[in-house]
Structure formats: C-alpha cells, structure tokens
Structure 1
Amino acid sequence: MLKKIFIVLFSLICIVSCGEEQSSDQQITEQQSPSDNKASQSTSQKFHAPRSWDNIKRSGYIRALKLAWEDENHLPRSGSTSLFHRQLLTDFAEFHQLNVQWVMVDSIKQMFDALDKFEADIIPRHLTVTEQRDQRVAFTDKLAQDTEVVIGRAEAKPLTKDEIVTVHLPEGTSYVDSIKQLSANWNIHYLKKSLSADDLADRIAQKAIDFSVLDQSAVDTLLDYRDDIRIVKTLPEQRTQAWALHKHNREFLQKLNDFISAHHVEQSTQVVRTHDLNVIKSKPLTLRMITRNSPETYFLWRGELMGFEYDLMKEFTRQHNIKLDVIVADEYQEMLDLLSSGRGDVIAAAVSRTEQRQQKHNFSIRYNRVSEKIVAHASSNIKTLDDLNGKTISVRQSSAFWHTAQELAKSHGAKVMAADESLSTELLIGQVADQSIELTIADSNLIDIEQSFRDDIIAPITLNENIPYAYMVRDNNPKLLAALNAFIRKEYRQTFYNVVKNKYFANQQRKQKHREQRITEGSNLSPYDPVVQKHARRFQFDWRLITSQMYQESRFNPKAKSHAGAQGLMQVLPRTAKELGYSNLTDPKESIAAGVEYLNWTRDRFSSDLPVEERLYFALAAYNAGYGHVKDAQKLAKKMNLDPNVWFNNVERAMLLLQKPKYYKKTRFGYCRGSEPVNYVRDIHQRYLSYVTIAR
C-alpha cells in the first residue's frame, strides 16, 4: 500500500513538472549543466565582440564550451582522453589565477555557433583543424594528432569507397568533410546531437544505425572493453587537433600557445617507448602509470577519479611538472607485459615486493607496507593458528598469498583451494561474508576498506607483517627509479602521504550506526525542514524525499565530511558544488541547495519517458555512485534479460555485479561497489515511505 502511495505521489509531481521542462533544442542548455542561476546569467549575457584577454582577466573566469554528455568523467583505461583537455585548460586558468566557467551545448555545430556569437571564449577539445574551420576560427598550436576511422558492428565487413552505404554523423564535425572527400557514393545522415563514443557504439550495436566515424584513439578505448563493434575502414590522412577561439582574440591565443609550449605534453595515442624520466621531461611526454581498476588503486566515484595509488602518482608527476596517463590492466602478468613492451612506464598497483619477484624485476624502495591476515566470518571461532586445522583457505594461485597459504597447509593442517583467477581478493572477502567459502587471506589495507562497509567479517590472525609495496620500472630507466625513490623518501609518512592513506584506509565505519531520530506525527522531520521545502519546490521534488536523502547522507550533521571529501548535509563534492555555484558546504542553506540541484541534474540525465518513480530511483543511484555506473548497470541488465528501465529487482541486480571483474571489465565506467547504491536507494525509499505517514 505504501509503495502505491509513493508511485501516486510521484505521478502527481510528474504532472506538475512536465510543463517546466526546457526544450531540448535550446542552444546553450543551462538546464543540462550543473550551474545555478548566478552562473546561468553570466553565461547567457550577449556580447558584440570577443572578450579581450584584459576583459577575461578582470572578470576572473574563462567561459569554455563542452558537450553536455561530457559532464561526468568516464574511467580512462589507456592513454589520454577528453579529460586531458579539460584538465589542461584548468591548469592554464589556475596559472593565470582564473576560474573556468563551463557552458554546455549539444553538438559541435552549436560550439562553433556559440563562439561566433561571443557566448564563450574557447572550445578546449580535440578539434580537427580543417581548411574551412581555419577560415572561421583561430586554432592554438597542435595539441594532438589522430586518425579517423569508420566503425560498424562486429560482424561487418571492411568497406570500400565504391560501396553505397549510409554513415551517421553529428552535424558540424570534421568527419563530414572527411567522408565527402573519401567517397561520393556514401550517404550522410546527420545526427541532431553529438553523442559520446560509447553511445554511438551502442546505436551501432543495437542496429539503430550501421556506420559512423570516430577518432582512432576513441575507438581504441572502446575496444578495451567492447567486442560488439569494429573498425571497417581507416581514413588515409592523419589529422592535427587543437583548441579553437575567436580569430580576433590574439592576446588570448598567444597566452595559450605560450602555456602549451612551456607546460604541455602533446597528446598522443598509446605508443611503444622506453624513455627514462629525463627524456620524458625534456620532450615533454606523459608518465604512463600501469595499475588495476580496484578500490585500493584506481576507480571512479561520483565522477571523481580516485585511489591511493592514483593520488600518490598524481603528486609525483605534479612535483616533476609532467602529465599523468593511466593504463588499466586486469592481471599482474598483463601489467608486466605492458611495462616490458614499453606501453607503460611504472607499475603502481599495490604490488608486494617479494624475494622471488625481486630476482626478476626492478623495484623501488617501499612506499607502503601491509600485513597479511586471515579473513573469517564474524561468527567464526578462529582465534589462533591452531584453529586453522581442517579449515579451507581460498586464494588465487597468482596472488602473493598463495605461498603463505601453502605454508599454513604444511604447518597447521589448513586446506588450500585455488580460487578462480577472475575473483579479486575483495570478492573473496565478500564470499567469506556470504559464508560461501570459509577463509581467505588479504592485506590489511583492503581489510580496512571492507570493514568500513561491512560488519560481517573479522581478521583474527596476522600472518606476516611489514609486507612491502613498491613501484616497478624497467631496468633501463634508472633516473625514473631514482626519482621515485627520492619521492618516497620525501613523502613517506609525512603530511601529504598520511592524509591520502587515511582517506582510503582509515578504518572509520562509513556506514554510521546512528539510530533514526524518533519522529512523531506532526513533528519536524529535521532541523532544516523550511530550507528543504523551499528548494524541493523549486525542482518539483517531494521535500520528505529530500529529507530522507539528507538523513542518509549526513544524519543531519552540517559538518559531516566523507572519506572522499564530500561535505555538508547533502555530502556534495567541492568540485561539484563549485560548478553549481556554491562555495560553503558547511552552511546548511548552501549544502541543501547544492544537493537538491545536483539531484535534479542527475534526474535530467535519464529519459523523461521513464515512469516518474523509476526516474527518481535512477537519479538517487546516480547521486550516490555516479551516472556512468548506473548507465553501465542498465546496459548489463538488458544483457541479462532484465528490464533496464526498472530499478528494483532489475537494474539493482545488475548493479551488484559491477564489483566483479567479469562484468566491470566490459563496462565504460569500470569498478563500482554496487551494494552501496543498491542499499542507498532502498534505505531512502523505505525511510521516505515512513515520512509520508508522519509529515503531511
């Protein structure tokens, strides 16, 4: 009955809100961007000439264009991505003590139109330099070079220019000119909006369209995790790529080129090279970090790239004034292959330095040390090594724990079972918690992470202490090794290092155990009900739902701060708040306003054709885990013959699988602790239903 009430309530909200939606044809779509009224007003001002560099400096910000679907980061798996350009412009702005104000549009054509109308200062993306464009805008110095390729379904045959085919292309892209030059026989069908490479591949795989064109680097990234598309033709010319700004903005152009020359490494696709650090810095080139997509190393959360290994390596490259690329590998042997073949420069992936490994490979000094521990279910009576007699320990043969388990079999009568190589240690811990296996072995860092989210496991026995984690480099890179060792000596156990380590491994129960406040009919749900009601009305949300979400996020504590840096009553990340136009997340009014606005933005990312209650469930899940992970779960649900447009018992089931390498290796956004958004939506939903009966 309560669920029916919930659906009816949100159906009514839909009727109210449908008339408020903006047209998708609006050229600069502020509704698609997380920006508040103040930012919207500044980006919608009409100018009659490009802003000079002096005007930009006086205003304190650069107005930059980006496509609406690029609002959230994806998980970079190999080499540079579009994140490279956004970060580079941010670096430029910070160098000149400026901010970046992002203006969202739906297509490349709208980008150039907005630049013509002086509605923005720059297009900072990998735009192909063409003769026609060069007459229209000014381009910076070269930022990248790439090849254009035609893609089709996996079963498609290679194309010839004499065939008659239809290619779907976004209007205004350089691909249109390329196809016209290649073959007069090919028909071009224009897409109204620019799509991400992943969405374009989806349309091809689902047979909505047959062929399209992308840059080779974008397709290389797709092929890292997809097998339903392929390259059917490579276009003959390599294309130069650069940023665009108005032709008359000469001083701004000079400032950009000076910065590119002094600070920038030219973006390139992944190539084989074995240069030492001195060459990487002098050219300059990127440092390519080889790692795993896991909660210890490198992952995506709410659009933020995170991980202990990633944060340390970012600081190392910052100190050496070079850029960082990330190469994601699935297994230890793959990491070794990438390093030895010259497709990466350093392995930073929580790799233990053992005597056996040191005989074959080149390690740094230790930058972290952990203990090996037995992991058992919370109900287990295991307390000493003697209690292991007859018990089964499940570990992967390829892990450093295999040798330890074998020793326990000899010395204390334990049984050892070889776990599936596709099962991460995190998943083995989950199997212990589910009692589908008896025991496993894990390092203390990962156990700390797991115990922050669950209370059904214990680590009663420490087996080996002071296991060193170290970086791995090639033998012919002594300068890189020396620099890494110097970095470790400087930072190890100092302030920066300790902050980063505590961020990921401090065993603080993130699932707070506070009891719900006792609420009686007619009483306030929270100390902030009037503020919540005001902002909920603005975006057509039921204020009781927002209050339920606020309790879930912070337990009504305005000073709450998460391990990942989210702050305030609604636990918004500072970067997101800044884009929304808010700066003080400890102020309840700002935090609530930012959280409600961000929830509205996540809701707008999902189709308005969805039932209103389903759209809200997806929005809540995206608020918690990030839009990209929810999108991955929808795709996975469809493959599993579940309904991708229904959350409970459908997409939520797929969401739980995104912790397993078998599934997340084949997704765009990678690893996700799926149990978090699943529990998050369920808890908010249940609390909301109880609030409905109390506060009317």
Structure 2
Amino acid sequence: MLFERDNIIGVSKYLLLTGCGAMLFLSCSQSSDTRENSETLPVSVSEPVERDFAEIKRNGVLRMITSYSSGSYFLYKGVQVGFEYELLKAFTKENDLALEVVITGPDESPYDLLNSGRGDIIAANYTITPERKQVVEFTRPYNMVDQLIVVSDDLGFKPESISDMEGIPISVRRNSSYYVRLKELKDEGFPVNINIIPEDMDTESVLFQVADGTYEATVADDNIFDAADKYMNGLIKGPLIAESDTIAWAVRKNAPDLEYQLNRFLYKHFRFDEDGVPKRSAFLNVLRKKYFESGNQIADYYSPNYQGEQYGTISPYDNMIREVADEMDVDWVMLTAIAAQESKFNPSSVSWAGAVGIMQVLPRFSEISSDSLYIPEVNIREGAKILASHLDHYAYMDSTNKWSFALAAYNAGSGHLADARRLTIDHNKNPNEWEDVSESLLKLMQRKYYQNARYGFCRGIETVRYVNEIMNRYSTYQTILAHNREKTATGTGVLGLKTFN
C-alpha cells in the first residue's frame, strides 16, 4: 500500500560536494528524537484553536496562509494564480468550499496565524522538518525538491562545492529549512557563514536581492530557482546541499479530520511506487510545468513591460476602475474584486444568463446598447452605477453589512434578497444582519420556502459564496496593496521584487 510508505517519505538524503570532489550523503529529515534540535521556531501561540474540517465546512471557507510569490500565490492580470493556490483551489472545489488567501505580513509568524485560527493551512512550499513538526502537523508530501546554493554573478565565479563558499555570507531566513541545513553543515565543520535576513522575505524576494548584488548568496529549492532563472539575470547555480526534501502542507495539530481530507486529495496526485519513485497525476504535472518549468506566465508578470503604465498593481484596468469608482463614490478595490469575480477582467465575457463584459451587466437592465457594453470603460461604469444604487439602498447599515447586501443584490437581484429578508423576519432573526439573511438565502433553495416567496427559487448557495469570495478577495487585495506601498517606500519595487531585462 502506498500509504504505508509515508513513514519513510520524510527521510531525505543530502549530497555535499567537498573541495576535493568527493560526495558525502547525510540524512536531513530524521525523526526529532534522533536529530539535534537546540533552537526552536519563533512561535507565540502555543495552544491551537479548535477548528477542524467540520467547522470549516459549516463556515464554507478554507483559509490558506501563504506568501506572495510566483511559486505560491500572486496576481496575473488581476487573476489569482500560483502553484500552491491552484492546487489547494482544486481541493476546495472538490469539497464545495471557498478559498480565502491570508498573506503573511511583516513580523507575522505563519504558525501563529495557523494556531490562532486566522488561517487553516500553511501552503507555501514548506519542507517537512522536525523543528516545524514540533508546532504543526504535516500532510502527505506533494513534491520533492533539492536545496542548492545560489550566488550573485557579481562574485565572478561558480562555486563547485560548499568549501568554495568560505568567507561568503549565505543569506537565509531563520524560519526556513535552509537555515536548518546550513546550521547542520556548520556544526559538521564546513565553512558556512550564515547571514540572517528578515522573515518577511520569501525565497523569490531573496533571489532578486542576490541577482542585483544586494546579497552575495542564498539557498533555494531547485524548482524555485529553475522558475526564477527564466526571468532573472545575475544568478549563478551553485552546489547541491540537500537532496529529496519532502514538501507538504501544514495544519494544526488538533485538526486530524482536515489532515485526513487533505491526505485523501493529495494521494490522488502524488504517490511513491514500490521503488520509492514519485508518481504525479496529470493535473499536478500541468501545474509543475506551468509554474516551475515553462515560466512564461511568471516571466510576463515580472517583466518591465508588464509593470508598465498599461497595467496596474492589481489588474489591467486599475486606472480605469479608479476613475470610475471616484465618479460613483465607491471603493475602487471592491469594484476590482467584483470585476475579477465576474469575468476575470475579460471584456468579451458572456454568462449563461446573458450578462456581458467585465462587470457582467445584463443588457435588459441597462440603457446602454448591448454592443457598447463590451467596451471596458462603458461596462465598468454601468456595473459601478448598479452597485452604487444597491449601496445607497442599504446605506443605513454598517459598512460590512452594507457591502454584503449590495454584493448579494448585485449577484442575485434585489427581489431574491427581499425574499430572504422577509424569510429572516419570519424566523425571528435580524433582516439587517448578513449572517442571518445568508441562512435564509440557503433556505430559498428548498421547496417549502421558495414556493411561498415572491420571486421563487433562488440559488442561494451561489450568492452566499459570491459574497464571501469577493469579501475575501477584497481583503487579499488590500494586503497586496499595503505590501506594495511598504516595498515601494523602501525602493524595492512591487512587493519587494525588482525587475530585470
């Protein structure tokens, strides 16, 4: 049985090239009782909250803790993408869940975000290490990678062994498997000079700093380096220092049901055969090729042309949406989140119901001609106009409820929302609280409720999910913008990632 092989998956071999060219194999991922572990991770939340798969299902949202990087999660022409994001999105789709992205901010510990309940799973290309296993539980692996030294070409040479790195600082985060491996090598007596850098710098960000000469060297997984090497100049691949690290998702130690469901999903996409050779599903191979082998999408995103005036921080229509939002006095980031949800910014999009354009406006509810609604600016303005009218209708509510009701009306129509509010009153609940009304929207999918409703059957689950996903996307966009402002202030470009020709 393939599951029976799990207890040996965590055993990795490390390849160290010495100065005289000999090879020494070392074990890295042994159990915590056989490996020296004198240092612990920076964790302040020691007791994880009680939130397992059943509660996640009840809430309908799985929260993904990750970093903003091409290997995990980023925006491509306004659309949410990334290897980790797409893989976990497939899991949430199978389980009828919405996926919320929680980007780790400066001075934030992903382990604290997990155990405090702000997130449910760490999906950020994490290597399984005994140090990490002290504070989280890992799923089955879904990838295997090698660690290698990467140096700046400003050094003027290609190191062939770890011994060639004597006197050269290797910059890594303390909260990384790279630090653990370098510390092991240093304890073994090899000439390793470790330079600790800020925790909010993901591997990709550090590679940019190495490429421009800010740092002389770092460590990266081979898949991340291969992807970065396609769109960064100035990187030199150095010696391999770790082989066959297992990559997995991390969950709370008291969430066995969530771990079980994730393992069932991963089993379909990544296994080991009888000889220990990894076997991947077609879906996983497509994702690997898309993000780590072809590199075209990622190269486009970080090219100077892509970051030119025709594109914005979030979408290709940032400037246009800002202008329209200012005219209509609505939040431009929320308007952008709606456009992403409705059409993925495709001006030619047409829904099954006949809604068209970026904001998916129904021609029968617009005074604008159908052909004109395919013009981005016209469509955005019409969508914003409709949204503004809904916001005005619920202006007496607090901000969160006002937006939730306006989004629900934009998606399902004011009639269905009115039915849901009347049903909420019938059940002695608050018709001005989205949490109560969303329950009524779900009830309107049942015959005993919708047969007496003025507007009949409503696909309430779609509207509830629509509101949740847009609110989650809005929060993610705000985080990305905040990161961008911070990095721009320090002169390190979009989210700290410098661009190269």
Give the TM-score, by structure 2 length.
Answer: 0.49
Structure having greater relative contact order (Cα 8 Å, sep ≥ 6): 2
Structure with bigger gyration radius: 1
Give TM-score, length-normalised by structure 1: 0.36
